[in-house]
Amino acid sequence: MSEQKAKKKDVTITINEAWCKGCVICVELCPESVLEMRSGKAKVAHLDQCSACMLCELRCPDFAIVVVDNSKVDQSSE
Amino acid sequence: MFNYDQYLRLNKFPLIWCSGCGDGIVLKSMLRAIHKLGINKDEMCMVSGIGCSSRLTGYVDFNTLHTTHGRALTFATGIKMANPKLHVVVVTGDGDATAIGGNHYIHAARRNIDITVILFNNFIYGMTGGQVSPTTPKGKRASTAPYGNFENAFNISGLAQAAGASYVARATVYNAVQLEKYIQRAIEKKGFSLVEVLSPCPTAYGRRNREGTPVDMILHQKENSIPVSKAESMTPEELEGKIITGVLVDTERPECRTEYQRLIDHLKEEK
């Protein structure tokens, strides 16, 4: 598990490396180039660019990416 | 973020499907649709046959049934007739539903029984080694068609439409949001509902046909999708090789289990 916190936007992206099969779908279809491939697995490279569009989570066929928009989590819990 | 874990058997993970297989994207869309409908897990029954897509029932925490090849719809019909309160969803592939189970498929649609079919169309028999399926497009290669397929392909959605289904929609894994919407509507709909999903198979189909990486295959879906409203004004030549997406049928027809209940009630009154 690799976890990184955003500096500009409060987004947390978690990638489950044990489930990631390295299909590159998330990396190629991310509109903000947040992710990249390292040793055959997806990794978060530029978290500050993430706009929390959720497309990587939506299209990951292996349930390996979880994107949490922390600002929305805070709102919903209020 | 969506909490998929609540509907999954996590001890069965990771998924068996190949890297870049679209089936996982369909599974996620199904779970989001079921969650939006607020269906209790115990009221959901998922039935599958044999094939890559049919492995899906092993991963979901509903009432599930993994049946014999092509017979998912027959088991599902029995379940719906015996317990009409259940939401019955059949998960099947192009070979399972339209070759081995082709007869059951058209008759389930004809009866218009309240079953939702999510049909994963990957144009090939992926699990058994890439043989030609009834939906392999003309000219495409498979392990049993090394010089290209010379047969005509089935139009799966057209078949359900002609046989009398209440709801028919076609979607791609590229547009997973649209797919989720169609699955939601299909489960809600009373009667036989089909969602045909085009799911890329990079291993058995893409590799043989030089369709590139999983990303290339998904982007191919994006570039070649035509909404059904736009397709109506296009010629068959213009539509060659295109994917017509959207709701093809959404109509009201007498539903099989309801008609059966009406008959039972009627006969009881006569006594």
User: Domain residues of chain B, as ranges?
Assistant: 18-270
Q: With beta carbons under 8 A apart, name residues in chain A contacting B213.
A: 24
Residue A77: is its pLDDT beyond 70? no
Q: Tell me, what's the pLDDT at B107?
A: 97
Mean pLDDT value of segment A28-38? 96
Query: Per-residue pLDDT tens for B145-189?
Result: 999 999 999 999 999 999 999 999 999 999 999 999 999 999 999
Q: Tell me, what's the pLDDT at A41?
A: 97
Residue with tokens 């030089």: B210
Q: What CATH number was assigned to the domain covering residues A2-77?
A: 3.30.70.20
Pick from B1, B177, B213: which is nearest to A68 by CB?
Answer: B1
ipTM for the complex shown:
0.91
Query: Per-residue pLDDT tens for B107-159?
Result: 999 999 999 999 999 999 999 999 999 999 999 999 999 999 999 999 999 99
> For B18-270, which CATH superfamily applies?
Thiamin diphosphate (ThDP)-binding fold, Pyr/PP domains (3.40.50.970)
Residue A5: is its pLDDT beyond 60? no
Q: Tell me, what's the pLDDT at A78?
A: 43
Residues of A (4-33) whose Cβ lies below 8 Å from B: 18-19, 21-25, 28-29
Pick from A19, A23, A54: which is nearest to B20 by CB?
Answer: A23
- C-alpha span between B83 and B266 (Å, rounded): 19
Tell me how close the Cα of B195 comes to any Cα of chain A, in angstroms: 18
Query: Per-residue pLDDT tens for B22-72?
Result: 999 999 999 999 999 999 999 999 999 999 999 999 999 999 999 999 999
Residue A3: is its pLDDT beyond 80? no
**Averaged pLDDT score across all residues of chain B:** 97
**CB-CB contact of B9 with B60 (8 Å):** yes
From the list A44, A51, A50, A53, the residue with the least C-alpha distance to A14 is A44
Burial per residue of B69-100, b for 16 or more beta-carbon CB atoms within 10 angstroms, e otherwise = ebbbbbbbbebbeeebebbbbbbbbbbbbbbb
Mean pLDDT value of segment A36-40? 96
**CB-CB contact of A42 with B229 (8 Å):** no
Pick from B19, B28, B176: which is nearest to A23 by CB?
Answer: B19
